[in-house]
């Protein structure tokens, strides 16, 4: 079995000449633009430390009571 494609054998194409005509040396990549460092944004002066909210209390109970809808006014009152 011949390793040359049938199209080449049939049309008597010289692969060496075709290769020289249809290939070219890869062009070197252009150097990428250097990135300029950004100036940091002016941070707002913080006078008071931010306090985290109070942790939530765990409520023991059945799953139905925990998932059931609740009234926000009643929940905040307890």
pLDDT > 80? residue 53: no
Its pTM surpasses 0.85: no
Could you tell me the residue range of the domain that residue 31 belongs to? 6-76
Angle at Cα 42 formed by Cα 39 and Cα 43, nearest 5°? 130
Domain-located, residue 39: yes
Q: Is residue 23 domain-resident? A: yes
- Per the model's pLDDT, the better-predicted residue between 46 and 49 turns out to be 49
How many domains are contained in the chain?
1
Average pLDDT over residues 35-46: 79
Cβ neighbours of residue 13 closer than 8 Å, sequence gap 6 or more = 7
Q: Answer whether residue 1 is part of any domain.
A: no
Q: What is the pLDDT of residues 1-32, one digit of tens each?
A: 678 888 888 888 888 888 888 888 888 888 88
Distance CA 66, CA 75 (A): 12
Q: Is pLDDT of 46 > 70?
A: no
């Amino acid at each position: 079995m011949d390793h040359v494609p049938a199209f080449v054998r049939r049309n008597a194409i010289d692969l060496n000449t075709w290769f020289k005509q249809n290939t070219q040396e890869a062009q070197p990549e252009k150097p990428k633009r250097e990135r300029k460092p950004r100036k940091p944004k002016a941070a707002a002066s913080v006078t008071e430390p931010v306090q985290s909210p109070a942790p939530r209390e765990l409520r023991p109970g059945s799953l139905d009571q925990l998932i059931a809808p609740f009234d926000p006014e009643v929940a905040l009152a307890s």
